Chain A
């Protein structure tokens, strides 16, 4: 079991759909992250929120829109995705955005774009 909960576990969407991925943690962590992982590849950093403010956007296309409504929740809004966006989307959190606090990951949402 992980302390970072991601929903849904699986998602299939068409290229014209709008959907959202959700991530929740109740560990009091103030930094939250989105990663994208393709099959047999390492996770790639997409976004970082620190104290509910976006601090890093790794040049992610605008069809991915992150949102951090409060310190426990992180959303990733998806719109007009392409089939190549199919991947495992991982959420993580850490106590604060400092180099000494480890990341805690959820088990991801497996997204398929048809």
Chain B
């Protein structure tokens, strides 16, 4: 299984940017990098995904290292509703449906 490594926890002040790192040194060429977040008592929620280029959507930005061995999820202005566990996942390209979660980063947003 392709593995990801994330810090267990991070803190951010409200309305400041947050950079959540993820290492995936065993990534293969066809693996997509996905990010999900899970709020308390809810199922995981899709945030963003990418392959090689940086990606932006209404929720966040994804910055992917040139060698693809790491990536960073960027929340541009953290709000209290962004407090969640953020998971970085490699969606494996060979079959596409082996979708393994890493340990995740618990983000605390301080008012």
Give A residues with C-beta under 8 Å from B. 2, 4, 31, 33, 42-45, 48, 50, 55-56, 90, 92, 94, 96-100, 102-108
Contacts and interface: CB of A to CB of B under 8 A. Distances in A.
8 contacts: A33-B99, A42-B101, A42-B102, A90-B44, A98-B97, A99-B96, A102-B34, A105-B36
B32 A99 contact: yes
Contacts of B49: 100, 102
B42 A102 contact: no
- For the residues of B in contact with A, the DSSP-based class is loop
Contact of A90 (B41, B43, B92, B103): B43
B98 interface: yes
Contacts of A48: 97-98
Contacts of B34: 102-103
Nearest to B49: A102
| Chain A to chain B: the 9 pairs with minimum beta-carbon distance, closest first | A105-B43, A42-B101, A97-B97, A102-B46, A99-B96, A98-B96, A99-B91, A99-B32, A99-B93
B99 A45 contact: yes
A43 B46 contact: no
Contacts, number: 64
A40 to B, nearest CB: 9
A31 B101 contact: no
Contacts of A94: 97
Interface string B15-31: 00000000000000011
Contacts of B97: 31, 33, 48, 50, 55-56, 94, 97-98
Given A55-B97, A99-B30, A99-B92, A108 B104 contact: no
Nearest to B44: A105
A18 B57 CA distance: 44
B24 to A, nearest CB: 14
A33 B104 CA distance: 20
A48 B99 CA distance: 10
Nearest to B93: A99
